[in-house]
Amino acid sequence: MSTISPPATLGLLPRRSARPSVTRLASFAFSLLTLAFLLLMLGLFLVQSLPVWRHSGTGFLTGTTWHYPSKLFGSLPMLYGTAVVALIALALAAPIGIGAAIFTSEYLPRRLRLAVKLTIELLAGIPSVVYGLLGILFLRNYVSDALTRMGLDPLSGDTLLTAGILLAVMILPTVMTLTDDALRAVSAQQRVAARGLGLTRTQVICTIALPQARSGILAAVLLALGRALGETIAVFLVVGRQDNVWPQHLLSLRPIVKAGQTLTSKLGGAEVNIAYGDPLHWAAIVALGLLLLVVVVAVTWIGAALGRRSTIHA
């Protein structure tokens, strides 16, 4: 019996180099450098904030009064303001952004889809201070008039609600763009097979595209939340910067239509310069930065992980 010899062309195939890729090594090195900077920032903020943790303990997180002349440092109202503003922004931007992404990815032709997507993405390139100035010129007046018609008699249009609406416009491109990418990552063969089985386009979107892109959509929302939590100047200009705003009941909506304070608006204000000469006060300010950094990093990391998971499954 004669044996079949392998094709001669197999011997001509180039062997993969055993040496590691320069690009891979450079990427790995820069990733380690980024991680080192992040850990250095966390360590620095933690060390700088130790005096206030010793002074206030858990009261720094649970206290509702911030009055630095009296050495009272309670960050709970700022955490509340940050959460309220971010949730308002997500409640407005997520449905609009996801709906726009469904329209562009499932209904528009490719060229028109790219044009619409590019136009919406241009909103992300507008500087934050421009959004803040537009909020001062237009949005807060509209909010004040609307609240007055509702009989709430606001002192001004600088409220947590105003900041949330402004942030919704700012994070809309993030939600829309990443959701569109997640929907387009769903295999076209699945859509064709579903249509071949008699499903309508709407049924294909609801039963095939959206379930398959669920992780990517959630990642888009979380990454948008990360931006909303870290936004400073636009929120600073329209939130009112009123300390110690804490509702008597957590479900009360009254504080939302009043001036408030967030972590970023406090850190972006003049009190940071005042605090530098007082070690305890400075430690309290740095502790606010530490809280903000931890929350934003956690939310962004979870969103990025979900985005990678969605891409792998697609």
**What is the CATH classification number for the domain harbouring 244?**
1.10.3720.10
- Taking the C-alpha atoms of residue 165 and residue 143, their distance in angstroms, rounded to an integer, is 9
Residue 214 pLDDT > 50, yes or no? yes
Is residue 304 in a domain? yes
User: What is the distance of C-alpha 198 from the center of its chain?
Assistant: 39
Residue 89: the pLDDT is: 95
Confidence of residue 10 (pLDDT cuts 50, 70, 90): very low
Instruction: Give the residue from 140, 100, 102 showing the smallest Cα distance to 121.
Output: 100
CA dihedral 243, 249, 250, 255 (to 10 degrees): -40
Is residue 98 in a domain? yes
Number of domains in the chain: 1
How does pLDDT run across 139-152, given as a tens digit for each residue? Answer: 999 999 998 898 88
Confidence of residue 175 (pLDDT cuts 50, 70, 90): very high
Quote the percentage of the chain above a pLDDT of 70. Answer: 91
Is residue 146 in a domain? yes
Is residue 303 in a domain? yes
| Domain boundaries, position 261 | 83-313
pLDDT top residue among 186 and 11? 186
Is residue 191 in a domain? yes
- Taking the C-alpha atoms of residue 84 and residue 90, their distance in angstroms, rounded to an integer, is 10
Instruction: Give the residue from 297, 124, 159 showing the smallest Cα distance to 238.
Output: 159
Residue 292: the pLDDT is: 93
Is residue 267 in a domain? yes
Does residue 86 contact residue 174 with C-beta atoms inside 8 Å?
no
Is residue 130 in a domain? yes
Is residue 51 in a domain? no
pLDDT top residue among 8 and 162? 162
How does pLDDT run across 284-302, given as a tens digit for each residue? Answer: 999 999 999 999 888 888 8
